[in-house]
Amino acid sequence: MIYFYHDGLSVTRLTNNGDVQLLPKSDTLIAQLFEVATRYPDENIIWVHESIAGNFDVENLRSKFKDNNYMLSLGDIKNQFLVPEIGYVTDGPFIAVSEKVIYPTWLMQDTAGMVAAAVINQFDVANYKNVSLEYFLTSVARIGQPQGLFCYHIPWEQPSTPLTPKNTRALFKFVVQHYKRSWSLLLFFFLFRYENLFAFYSFSKAQSNSKFKIEFKIPKLKTSFFEIKNFDYDVVIPTMGRRDYLKDVLIDLSKQDNLPSKVVVVEQNSDQNSRSELNYIDNSDWPFIIDHCFTHQTGACNARNIALEKVNATWVLLFDDDVRIDKDFISSIAKSINETDVKAMTFACLQEGERESRKAYLQWENFGSGCSVVHKETIRNCKFDMVLEHGYGEDSDFGMQLRNLGYDVIYAPQIHMDHLKAPIGGFRSTFEFKWQNDAIQPKPSPHILYHRRKNFTREQLKGYKITLFFKFYFDQSIKNPFTYFNYFKKAWKKSLYWSNLLAQDATN
């Protein structure tokens, strides 16, 4: 284990398992880190700023570094050099970082952290001249995360000041080197519009840079963390009007080498005079318990919440009623959990003709409410948000709940299931919302805006509003830009109004 102490400008101390090492001879902090990574290619490196060297729990940091595909940093996220402005040009869950739990994000800090030398050695020191250590670490995470690097922020409870000064030149340079160039123009607009900042010099200076194109490979990992000898799991399936499709799902589960302890089926039919059409549940012999609940209340959120109250097993498999799986599907899940030691995992749910070419486990921006497995401890304080019933975003919201409780969502692309997209049944029945007959329809959907206001940052919401403004322009009939501008303001205001009412319903 290499300890790399620095003062923000240069390395100050270097130890290897407690033994003092010769300091690197390079003249910049970034080059010194590269020199150390080259000298000790098979070691893990902990970087520590001298200002906190005697004031943080290094064992806590090391305990969270599970394998060589991990990258951790510790600090006050508000002091990170890209925060909060990077939210204007970055969508997704990795920017709204929780300060209470370990949280998945590529926003690294130079306060303290840990990474494998084999990760650093895949980058070129020549690309990082005249940048800070925090810039480099964040670049590594930003490039590595979509290719299989697991990046996390660890909260720092001690009061602190930014160790890396914030400046717009670094912000624009980072955007140009890691995003499409057009995003730097949008960022210039956002800073002028919302921050009263005319950053033309920083914007123009950054244009001399090019976007990084680095193919990242995951270093050699452990074969497994532990062995699950008996993968104990229950299955949750909401269903509506898909009698035959659901039966096929149950048959597929019955063919698994490792059978579920229980399958919870929540059948829905809004017709008050209707009865269950799933007679085969009681008339057939199944190799597992089927807990069948029938309700006249429709909605996937309610159905899944009912089912989650009924599960008892260590693991919970969330399914749709129109999927098909191979006989080794459950064995593949157990193997993946052994290899990753995670508590929430989403699989590749493929429609006809789709293929998944990715192989590495990934930190996932989404969550599949019909193609995931979660540990029972994750759902103790998680429910599908009933405000989003019959709308959109309930699965993404559930994923955000998991992350804010300290559980990352990992995507396993090598585990496949077929999604038939059944032409009958499901939740296609029309639901009339209160705003359905308004002369000006809300844009975006109030459910989407509710979800974004609940889970994303102020800057992300403003960035989303502007990008939606441009995207929607080409999908609607008003082509006069001034007329469209006025229309969009009214449509956004309508969505804001209804999303506020949805939020009020959530607290009542």
* Cα distances (angstroms) measured from residue 267 to each of 7, 237, 239, 408, 480: 62, 9, 5, 30, 49
My answer on whether 186 and 314 are in the same domain is no
- Helix (DSSP H) and strand (DSSP E) numbers for the chain: 15, 17
My answer on whether 126 and 73 are in the same domain is yes
Q: Are 247 and 280 in contact (CB under 8 A)?
A: yes
Residue 253: how many other CB atoms lie within 10 Å: 22
CB neighbour list of residue 146: distance below 8 Å, 6 or more residues apart: 362
Q: Is 436 inside a domain boundary?
A: no
**pTM strictly above 0.85:** yes
Q: Is 217 inside a domain boundary?
A: no
SS (H, E, C) 35-85: HHHHHCCCCEEEEEEHHHCCCCCHHHHHHCCCCCCEEEEEECHHHCCCCCH
My answer on whether 317 and 412 are in the same domain is yes
Q: Is 223 inside a domain boundary?
A: no
- Per-position DSSP letters for 268-296, written without gaps between them: E---TT-----THHHHS--SSEEEEEEES
* Cα distances (angstroms) measured from residue 265 to each of 155, 249, 381: 40, 11, 22
My answer on whether 202 and 239 are in the same domain is no
Strands 233-239 and 315-319: parallel
Which structural domain, as residue segments, surrounds residue 461? 446-507
The span from the CA of 6 to the CA of 26, in Å, is 14
My answer on whether 259 and 297 are in the same domain is yes
- 57 closest CA partner among 135, 123, 112, 117: 112
State the amino acid at position 18 in one-letter form: G
Find where tokens 């030149």 sit: 169
Which token pair is 59? 């064992």
CB neighbour list of residue 257: distance below 8 Å, 6 or more residues apart: 327, 328, 330, 331
Q: Are 384 and 368 in contact (CB under 8 A)?
A: no
Q: Quote the number of domains for the chain.
A: 3
State the amino acid at position 450 in one-letter form: Y
My answer on whether 153 and 9 are in the same domain is yes
State the amino acid at position 208 in one-letter form: S
Q: Are 231 and 346 in contact (CB under 8 A)?
A: no
**Cis ω before 238 (30° cut-off from 0):** no
Q: Are 301 and 385 in contact (CB under 8 A)?
A: yes
Length of the chain in terms of residues written = 508
The span from the CA of 458 to the CA of 85, in Å, is 10
DSSP state of 225: S
Q: Is 219 inside a domain boundary?
A: no
- 239 closest CA partner among 288, 280, 273: 280
Q: Is 200 inside a domain boundary?
A: yes
Q: Is 48 inside a domain boundary?
A: yes
State the amino acid at position 271 in one-letter form: D
Q: Are 234 and 316 in contact (CB under 8 A)?
A: yes
Q: Are 85 and 171 in contact (CB under 8 A)?
A: yes
The sheet with strand 44-49 has its strands ordered as: 19-20, 11-16, 2-6, 44-49, 112-116, 70-75, 150-155, 103-104
Q: Provide the 3-class DSSP secondary structure of residue 113.
A: strand
H or E segment and range at residue 233? strand 233-239
My answer on whether 357 and 488 are in the same domain is no
My answer on whether 354 and 491 are in the same domain is no
My answer on whether 247 and 104 are in the same domain is no
**Would you state the pLDDT for residue 422?**
85
Q: Is 331 inside a domain boundary?
A: yes
My answer on whether 321 and 396 are in the same domain is yes
Distance of CA 437 to the CA centre of its chain: 35
My answer on whether 202 and 238 are in the same domain is no
My answer on whether 37 and 143 are in the same domain is yes
The span from the CA of 448 to the CA of 392, in Å, is 6
The span from the CA of 500 to the CA of 459, in Å, is 19
- Per residue in 377-397, is it b (16+ CB within 10 Å) or e — as a string? ebbeebebbebbbbbebbbbb
List per-residue pLDDT tens for the chain, 508 residues long.
999 999 999 999 999 988 999 999 999 999 999 999 999 999 999 999 999 998 888 888 999 999 999 999 999 999 999 999 999 999 999 999 999 999 999 999 999 999 999 999 999 999 999 999 999 999 999 999 999 999 999 998 776 666 667 899 999 999 999 999 999 999 999 999 999 999 999 999 999 999 999 989 988 887 666 677 789 999 999 999 999 999 999 999 999 999 999 999 999 999 999 999 999 999 999 999 999 999 999 999 999 999 999 999 999 999 999 999 999 999 999 999 999 999 999 999 999 999 999 999 999 999 999 999 999 999 999 999 999 999 989 999 999 999 999 999 999 999 999 999 888 767 655 678 889 999 999 999 999 999 999 999 999 999 999 999 999 998 889 989 999 999 999 999 999 999 999 888 766 6
Which token pair is 155? 């909260």
The span from the CA of 415 to the CA of 246, in Å, is 21
| CATH of residue 349 | 3.90.550.10
**Would you state the pLDDT for residue 504?**
86
**Cis ω before 446 (30° cut-off from 0):** no
**Single residue among 206, 223, 248 that ends a domain in this structure:** 206
What's the sign of the alpha-carbon dihedral 23, 25, 27, 30? negative
Q: Is 433 inside a domain boundary?
A: no
